[in-house]
Amino acid sequence: MDVLIRNATLPDGTRGIDIAVEHGRIAAIGPGLRVSAQECIDAGGDLVTPPFVDAHFHMDATLSHGLPRVNRSGTLLEGIALWGELKPTLTQEALVERALRYCDWAIARGLLAIRTHVDVCDDRLLAVEALLQVKKQVAPWLDLQLVAFPQDGLLRSPTAFANLRRGVGMGVDVVGGIPHFERTMADGAESVRLLCEFAAERGLRVDMHCDETDDPMSRHIETLAYHAQRLGLHGKVAGSHLTSMHSMDNYYVSKLLPLMREAGVAAIANPLINITLQGRHDSYPKRRGMTRVPELLAAGVDVAFGHDCVMDPWYSLGSADMLEVAHMGLHVAQMTGQEAIHACFLAVTETPARILGLDGYGLQPGCHADMVILDAGSTIEAIRLRAARRYVIRRGRIVSRSPAAHATLDVPGRPGTVDFRHTPAA
Ligand code: FE2
């Protein structure tokens, strides 16, 4: 064997597991494996998980915070206006440089697959070219999936559809959309139809920014589920944000969720961004604006959490840490039961891997040997501590190491080293 990881705890809580790796894939997994390997890593009972996956990101805008000015109101609409000011000044070199920098952060955080939307409303398609280049460059370490995203509206922006088709021709993987930003609800519905038919024709997945408003009457998710069902796109369609669902009538939602499930449409919530951008027109009480995560899960709909933004026109914080995303997600959704917290861990690992259609993801024999060894003993502790990524492993090779998060205390009568880990009594 090339690598042997000893004494791992798996995300489902199974302890004392060994993982043998050969030729970049998991060769065997189980307790007390009797194999020899060139390199042995002692996990020491720590959590070993398949890598983090971000189902929703904007890599063309990342790390551009402050360019050409900061978002003073912090609102979605000022962010879109600001992005419009920035777009004409973008250069391919700067886009590539910022994206690569972000990918470095991602790898160090054990985030080894990202679905990023890329704006196709700039006729030069500079961002598409830049991110295709980045995708190729980082492929040995990180899977990048691109979504052709008509930020200014498929029908509202005169060249958007032609550009989206060009982007797909150049190698963009997924069809995006933004129906709530079209001029009318009817145009929004029409954009969903056009985009789903285009995706079905090309055999592509669909991931739309959908109902990213507080308007309880914004119902493009219903149209998206309808066309997914009609065109046989089950398991290939995701609705991103779906914040209107937070404000929708409860009876209507009780009809909507089974329709999403029937159509195999997944939901992608972006807790850090939804909690800050939605509810901005409210006085008090202020709506949270995040979609109905526990209810979607209970209805059998796949739900992933995305980061959406890091240091860009919409959000000045973030550091590629999907545990921070899960942490915010569970707070906003009030998912504080033990199983619910675990479900939030799955929302940044297994579930988005399924939504992206990643091949060979997981810890079963035959899967890619892509893993993260966390400074935590369980998925819940990993979220609680936003645990350090002791080792990040890609195709059986360690690609990043981080020290455990200890502090040295100088308090008389107390131990010198403070370890934030704590195993609760059984
Ligand atoms: Fe987004």
The model's pLDDT over 197-227, given as tens digits with 9 standing for 90+, comes to 999 999 999 999 999 999 999 999 999 999 9
Q: Are residues 290 and 387 in the same domain?
A: no
Q: Are residues 42 and 58 in the same domain?
A: no
Distance 245 CA to ligand 1 centre (A): 16
Distance 102 CA to ligand 1 centre (A): 16
With the C-alpha atoms ordered 31, 32, 35, 37, is the resulting torsion angle positive or negative? positive
Contact between residue 251 and residue 220 where contact means Cβ atoms under 8 Å apart: no
Helix (H) or strand (E) holding 162: helix 160-170
Q: Give average pLDDT by consecutive 10-residue segment, the chain, 426 residues.
A: 96 97 97 94 97 98 93 87 89 96 98 98 95 98 98 96 98 98 97 98 98 96 98 98 98 98 98 95 94 98 98 95 98 98 98 98 98 98 97 98 91 90 78
Strands 143-149 and 111-119: parallel
Distance 212 CA to ligand 1 centre (A): 9
Q: Which spans in 184-237 are helix H? A: 185-202, 220-230
Which entry of 85, 129, 212, 339 is annotated as an active-site residue? Answer: 212
Q: Are residues 20 and 116 in the same domain?
A: no
Distance 24 CA to ligand 1 centre (A): 33
Q: Are residues 197 and 119 in the same domain?
A: yes
Instruction: For residue 425, tell me if it sits in a domain.
Output: no
Summarize pLDDT for 166-202 with one digit per residue, the tens: 999 999 999 999 999 999 999 999 999 999 999 999 9
Q: Are residues 10 and 118 in the same domain?
A: no
In which domain, by residue range, is 384 found?
A: 3-50+362-408
Task: Report residue 267: phi and psi, to 5°.
Answer: -115, 140
Report the percentage of the chain scoring pLDDT > 90.
Answer: 92
Rounded-to-integer distance, Cα 309 and Cα 145, Å? 16
Which pLDDT belongs to residue 426? 65
Nearest to 208 by CA among 217, 194, 89: 194
What's the CATH code of the domain at 45? 2.30.40.10
Mean pLDDT across the chain: 96
Nearest to 57 by CA among 105, 110, 113: 113
What length does the chain have? 426
Distance 27 CA to ligand 1 centre (A): 37
Distance 367 CA to ligand 1 centre (A): 30
Distance 308 CA to ligand 1 centre (A): 5
pTM listed for this prediction: 0.97
Instruction: For residue 419, tell me if it sits in a domain.
Output: no
Distance 17 CA to ligand 1 centre (A): 38
- Domain count across the chain: 2
**Cα–Cα distances in angstroms (integers) from residue 401 to residues 290, 374, 398, in the given order:** 34, 10, 7
- For Cα atoms 84, 85, 86, give the angle at the middle one, nearest 5 degrees: 90
On the 0-12 / 13-18 / 19+ scale of CB atoms within 10 A, 134 is buried
Contact between residue 247 and residue 215 where contact means Cβ atoms under 8 Å apart: yes
Nearest to 384 by CA among 348, 330, 333: 330
Structure tokens at 231: 């065109």
Q: Check if 212 is active-site.
A: yes
Instruction: For residue 247, tell me if it sits in a domain.
Output: yes
